[in-house]
Every structure is written in C-alpha cells, then in structure tokens.
Chains A and B, each alone.
Chain A
C-alpha cells in the first residue's frame, strides 16, 4: 500500500485529478471536458492561455449542456438576442459570469481564431460582457454559444438578455467631456492670468496690448466653461425656480445658489473685461466649475461589476421547448417542437422541462415525475415531490427526469412573478443624495440674497460706486461649492470603506438612507440561517449504534434527498462501523417513506402518513422512525444559524425595532422568540405578505431596513427604505436591492449602521467648515476688498481644504472603528 500520494492537479483547471488515465503529452486532466478544451486550444495554437496564468481554466466536471441551447436555432429568438443583424454580419453581446482572469481575456479575444466565421470578439472585463461579430452564413449563433460553453465560458442567457439595457455610457461620456473641456480651459486661463497678477505697466503701450489680449483670450476660453461645463447647473437652477414659482415644489435646489454664483462670476468678469478693461475673475470661475464637476464625477462612481437591478427575468430562462401535438400541428407546423420565448407562453401550451431546468410559469404536471427544488423561491431546502395532475408554481427547479407540463398562467401572471406587478416596482425609489444639500440651500440662498441686498443698500448710502462690485462679490464668494463637494467626497470614501468590508451599496444615497432607519426586518432562511443545508437532528428514544447502523443502511438505498441527508449525518456520527448486515427486503413508497428488513429487523422511515403507529403530535417536515413496529423518534432538519447571529440581534435590539418574516413554518419559533416581540415574529409569509408588512410599517411612520436573500424577499426589499441582499457569493444572483452584504460580514452589520451615521455627521461638520470660509469670504466681499487674485487663491483653497477635511476625517473614523 502506498501512503504517500502525489497530488496531480489538472493542467487546465487546477483541480485534483481522480485518476491518471487522462494524460495528453504528459499533462494531466481531471475530466474529459478539460482535456477537450486543451485539445481545442492546442489545435489552434492558443496555448499561451496557460502561460498567462497557471491552471487558468474553468472546471468542466459534471457539465453537460447537450441540447441546452437548442432554442438558439429558432430565428425569432436569435433576433431578440442580436444587437445588429444583416446578411453578412451579426453582432451579439453575451454576459459570461465565469470570466475571472487575464487568460480569459486573452482566450476570448482570440475567439475568432478558434471558430471560423467569427470576425471579432471584444471583452469588457469588469462587466464580463463579450461582444462577438460573426458571419451568419458561416457560423450559427448556436455553434458560438456551444463552443463558448465547451471552453467553460457559458454565457448567461436569460429573459433579461433580450431587453435592451439602458446605456449609462452617454451620461458618463458627457461628464467626461465636460471635465476635460473645463480642465483644459482652467489650465489655460490660469496661465494667461499670471501676467496681470505681476502688475503689467498699463502706461506702457506693449504691456497694455498684452493685458488686453490676455483678457479677451480668457473671455473666449471661459465661454465653454460657462455654456458647456456649467450648463447642467444653470438648467437645474432654472427648473427648480420654475417649479417653485408654479408652487409644484417647495424645495430650493442647491443648483440655485451655485448658478447664482457662477452667473455672478461670469457677468462681473465680462463687465470688468469689456467696460473696465481690468482683470476679471475668469480663473475663479473655471476653477469653481472644475471642482463642481469633479464632485459630480465622484458622486456617480458605483460598482460596475455588481448588479443591483436584477429581477426574476435574470433568473428565468429565455426560451422553453413547447411540444406541438401532432394532430394540431398540421396547419401550423408539420411536425416537431418549437422553442418559444417564455414571455410568449400561452395558457395550455405544453412545455418540456429537463433536469436542472426552471419551471417558467404556473403549470400542471401532465407526464413524468416531478421533484421540484424551490430553495431559491421559498428558502425551503427540501425538494418537493409532485405527481401527475399537481399544480407546480413557477420558479421551481426540476431535479430528475424530463417532465411535461401544461401552462396555466402566463409568466408575468404566475404566482411568483405577480409580485413584480406590484406598485412598489413601478415607481423609482427615493434617492436622497442631494436632499441634505437642498435642505441646507433653502436657508443658504435666502441668507445670501439678504446679505447681498443689505450690502447694496449700505454702500448705496455711503459710497454708491461700490454697490455693483460688492453685491456681485457677495454672490460670487457665497457660492456653496465647498458645501456641495463635502457630501460626494465623504460618501464616496464611505462607500469605498464599506466595499473593502464586503458591504456594497448601490449609490451614495443609500448611506444617507441607512442613517434614517429605525426598524430592521429580517428574513430567516438564508439570512439568519445559512443557505446551505442544515443539520439533521434526532429526537425521541435513544437509538443504539446497531439501530443507527440499520437506519443508515436503509436510508442509503433511497435517492430521496432527506434520506440521503439522514444517511450522511449518521455516517458522520458513528465513526466506528459495525459490519454491514444484509438487506433482505427494501421498498420505497414515493412521497411517503422507505421500509426494509435487515437481520430480521423491520425498519420503516417516513412521513407521518407512512408511520401509522405514531400519528398524533408530529409535525410536517419530521421524518419518523419505526423499528419492529415500535415508534422510536423522528429526524428533523435544523438550520444552521449564522455565526454571532445572537449577539448581532442583541446589539441591534437596543436601537432598532426588530421583526422577522419567514416563508418557512414555525418550527424555529422557540429559538427566535427571545429576540423578537411576538407580534413581530411571523411565519408562513408569502412574498406578498412580506411586502405588505413593510408597507404597513412605513405607513405607521417607520423607516424600514429589510435584509433578505431570495426571490421571495424581492418585493419586501423593494418596498423597504433600504433593502440589503445577503449573499454568500457576491457575483451570484441576488434580487434587486440597495446594497449587497457578503454573508461572512453579517456580524458587522451594526458597525455599518453606526458608521453611516458618523459619515453623515462628517458631512455636517464639513458644511460648518465651509460656512466659516464663506463668512471670511463674505467679510472681504462686503467691505469691497475682494480682488481677483484673492478670489483666485481663496476659492479653490477653501474647496480643497473642505474635501481634504471630509475625506481625512472619514478615514480617521474608519480606522477608529476598525473598518480599515
């Protein structure tokens, strides 16, 4: 016997190889899939793939997609996927979740060398999108997708793929252009302003010419700054003013004082240039707009690679096989089956579902045996058996053989998907990013205008020629640039710190919403408990080792997941094995239980309908055990709770109202009772019930934070003020939400809640600081001492110092709270 085993890892994917039979050119492969990929790559001289990263490949073990993509043959479905279609060139974009390293980029961008007919392939690594152009006369979409899947890069094609995603690019590109143009102008204006600051001698003809030349040049350069760079602020202010005049809004947008300041700078500088022929405030204007745009840029930074907008459409398949009965098919289509986009499914369509496929609509089972895994929808980890004639709800996944179903409701009207027809999904969520600044700006605008008016009146009485200069100076210097910068920079830093701790918020507004929360609603399965299977617990009369052994042997015979789990748990408990006894009789009653005879002991394991000796007092979900016609006890599946869940709840209970909504039965009630008030501990909640509960709480005046994980929480996540999706794999599916929290960081939830409050206080503190700057500036302005040089130095400096203050303080507090 050899005790030393040399581990052989697969050349393609790096997994351990079970046997050494798969060897090509002294390279080992763990499975045929990996070997095939290697052979394809070698044939096409693309083995650089393995040089870039060792064992770069995606494991292909147990992958079988024969026929999985057959629906791509259907021209109507192809059309829905293609971005562009013509006789000789088609373009398509795939989302490929498996992309993970530079080798992937290399291989996929060389895809045209592997498959003839593909003209080009471009990859966006962060978004994991592959854009492929191909010649439809030489290669079909199906061949492309199948080869991609063979290589381990299976594209995620689902119902959402057919919807044109809104392109954020246009907005972002415009902002980039604005920053570029304003930055360009700012640099030049600063340069051309220098001569003036060094006191040109205006009595000298040459100097006077230069001075005029630079002035007009600055004016020309500031035109794009004012009309292009600042256009959004001017427009925003105009809209806000108009709405206030129409009384349709009572909030003064922060754009108003900004636009006021920018306009004052522009008009005053133009006046100085053309009437006084003295230097204007051009550099201050350009600098101001540049800083504002930089703040805007920071504000819109998000996690590109995470999706916060997913709904059932990204979970459901794109198409399904519809069986056309031969008698009816005469006129429509000669024979055979068609693939239909599931959105077009009609009542009474007969669909065929394969192993591991999803049931897209509520349907009745008409042939085959259904074993439906609803874990994603309800959180229930046990698959449900269905017989012919049973209604199967959409969202379940078939395990086992092919089944045929008769559709009862269209996809959008099905039990699960109906949730998305709710109002909560129709209106946009309130995003408060600018609200704090807007609230501030209400007073700010009035105070600024009041000061300007008083200054004007004062100088009118004492020195009328100073009225114009002082009033414009007040408006210029009071521009709340620093004020608007502190919010995005603080929140962006906070977002980054949260991201480092695997708490990903959708945008900056979410952090502010977090501070308002006063009630937290939890989902149970997958949120308080782990998503993975729970542990089997036994209750009842103690079993001897021999009895356990027999139960193990019997339950191992059955493929039912519950028996498998019981067998597994017994094997873990009893390490020392007794000799295997012989099973002389075994029988499995579908949906009921199993029975068998070992060593003349008659053992029956099953549901309460199966074990007749003990019917009363047992609950559904329990698996009863009977040995030799005597009831012994039952097995149940106890969920594993997350680490530290109790301390998290205890901490949160001090500051927040806590509620729990579970789609499960109330078997865990006793465990959870100490942490929740009884009327806030609800079981058997349907998705719609969860949504309604949160809606009710909001109507009472609470700000609700919902934490959930599955599709059944989607409605509640959407309705809540802040919806956090807990996820064990960030890249994997999570329902639409405001933030994604990595499950391993669940215990830190309280820290995040606290820190968002700190962040908001930092914003307020930097508001104060910028007010101090404003007072200093106003002092100069009111007394008529604000010169262009002073403005050019003072204004950017105040903005910069406020930004540094906000960002620095955020980091200091993060360090204190041990978040970085």
Chain B
C-alpha cells in the first residue's frame, strides 16, 4: 500500500511543475497586460499578397 505515498508525491511533483510554470509566466509579464492578448489572438497570420478587395 506504500504505493499511494509514492503516487501522492509524484502527483505533487507534477503540480509543482505547473507552479514553476506559473512563476515563470508571471515573471515574464504574462499578467501585466491581460487585455491586449485577447485581441491579438483573433488576428490571422499572413495573407497572401494580392490586391485588397472589399471585405
């Protein structure tokens, strides 16, 4: 039954991994601007070069 103890520790390690990711994201400025990315994600990538027609 000792396996449960290992499982709990392993699960906790996984969770700590995500906590580290959270630290990284915060330090990187992920939460400094919470609005602009919501707009940015809606943009398409490059359009093929062509004359622009009424859209």
Contacts and interface: CB of A to CB of B under 8 A. Distances in A.
A102 B32 contact: no
Contacts of B51: 25, 42
Interface of B: 1, 4-5, 8, 12, 15, 19, 22-23, 26-27, 29, 31-33, 35-36, 39-40, 42-44, 47, 49-52, 55
A180 B22 contact: yes
A674 B21 CA distance: 66
Given A50-B55, A126-B36, A177 B26 contact: yes
B39 A125 contact: yes
Contacts of A346: none
Contacts of B43: 48, 52, 105-106
B40 A109 contact: yes
A518 to B, nearest CB: 40
A105 B49 contact: no
Nearest to B48: A45
Contacts of A47: 52, 55
A126 B33 contact: yes
Contacts of A124: 32-33, 36
Contacts of B19: 180-181, 184
Contact of A169 (B4, B23, B29, B52): B29
Contacts of A177: 22-23, 26
A109 B36 CA distance: 11
Contact of B36 (A50, A125, A173, A184): A125
A642 interface: no
A431 interface: no
Interface in A165-204: 169, 172-173, 176-177, 180-181, 184, 188, 192
A130 to B, nearest CB: 11
20 contacts: A42-B52, A47-B52, A48-B47, A50-B52, A51-B55, A52-B43, A105-B36, A125-B33, A125-B36, A126-B33, A126-B35, A127-B33, A169-B29, A172-B31, A173-B26, A176-B26, A177-B23, A206-B1, A213-B5, A217-B12
A210 interface: yes
Interface size class of A (residues with CB under 8 A): 20 to 34
B13 to A, nearest CB: 12
A169 B32 contact: yes
Interface string A413-446: 0000000000000000000000000000000000
A759 interface: no
A52 B40 CA distance: 11
A40 to B, nearest CB: 13
Interface of A: 25, 42, 45, 47-48, 50-52, 102, 105-106, 109, 123-127, 169, 172-173, 176-177, 180-181, 184, 188, 192, 206, 209-210, 213, 217
A25 to B, nearest CB: 8
Given A50-B55, A102-B42, A181-B19, A217 B8 contact: yes
For the complex of A and B, the 6 pairs showing the least CB-CB separation, nearest first, are A47-B52, A51-B55, A125-B36, A102-B39, A124-B33, A105-B39
A188 B12 contact: yes
Nearest to B32: A169
Looking at A51, A105, A206, A217, which has the most chain B CB atoms within 10 Å of its CB? A105
Contacts of A206: 1
A173 B27 contact: yes
A519 B26 CA distance: 45
Nearest to B19: A184
Contacts of A125: 33, 35-36, 39
Nearest to B46: A45
Given A102-B42, A180-B26, A173 B31 contact: yes
A102 B41 CA distance: 11
Given A125-B35, A173-B26, A184-B19, 17 more contacts: A45-B50, A47-B52, A50-B52, A51-B55, A52-B43, A105-B39, A106-B43, A109-B40, A124-B33, A124-B36, A126-B35, A127-B33, A169-B29, A177-B26, A180-B23, A180-B26, A210-B4
Contacts of B42: 52, 102
B44 to A, nearest CB: 7
A225 to B, nearest CB: 13
Nearest to A123: B36
A45 B4 contact: no
Given A169-B32, A176-B31, A180-B22, A48 B44 contact: yes
Nearest to A167: B32
A47 B43 CA distance: 12
A98 to B, nearest CB: 16
Contact of A184 (B5, B15, B47): B15
